[in-house]
Amino acid sequence: PVTPVMISYIERGIEAAERDGAEVLIVQLDTPGGQVDLMGEVVRTILDADVPVVVYVYPPGAYAASAGTLITLAGHVAAMAPGTTIGAASPVGGQGEDLGETLEQKLKEDLKAQARALTGRRGEAAVEWAEAAIDEARAATADEALALGVIDFVASDVEDLLAQMDGLEIELRGEQVTLDTAEAEIREVPMTLFEQILHIITNPTIAFILL
């Protein structure tokens, strides 16, 4: 789930990538979602990066649900593995309950505005789908998302993704950048043991049980 630890972990990864002069930073994502405010912080962290951030829904069977949808759309490059899904981004309460009509409408309009901002460069079909993912909890498979322009690639693994991205032009902080990833060396940045423990206990479900 999207937790405060995810934010600090991605920030640490971006700092390492910038320090090492990395070509890209790939965030492998598999999430049921999380709080809207935490999602917003992850999105801002990605958009403020000085290195291209690729959000890759992985491994097969993973999903970028709810808040994960907008995090994926925030990537300078968005990709999914076969057998993954994205969407179902309608807002609900902290325990999965329905919201009051007024609050739900406000949240939906705010989320749809964010979705339009993130998908505008991807075309009208992608924008329409992103809004439907929030309004109607619509979801899509990897192939469906690719056909709609919601993502850039369907890749079986990181090596396949690097090969497909090679030569792709993206916009990074207002400048055009061409990715050179064909011969890129892969360096993993795993969560530390402390981050793993914090990530578990800040999972809303686990935190509720502990309380």
Tell me the pTM: 0.92
Give tens-digit pLDDT for 35-46: 899 999 999 999
DSSP H helices, the chain, are 4-20, 36-47, 67-74, 101-119, 124-135, 142-148, 158-165, 193-201, 204-210
Give tens-digit pLDDT for 91-106: 875 555 566 677 778 8
Which pLDDT score is estimated for 190? 94
Cα angle 116, 177, 53; round to 5: 60
Taking the C-alpha atoms of residue 76 and residue 121, their distance in angstroms, rounded to an integer, is 11
Catalytic residues: 66, 106
Give tens-digit pLDDT for 187-199: 999 999 999 999 8
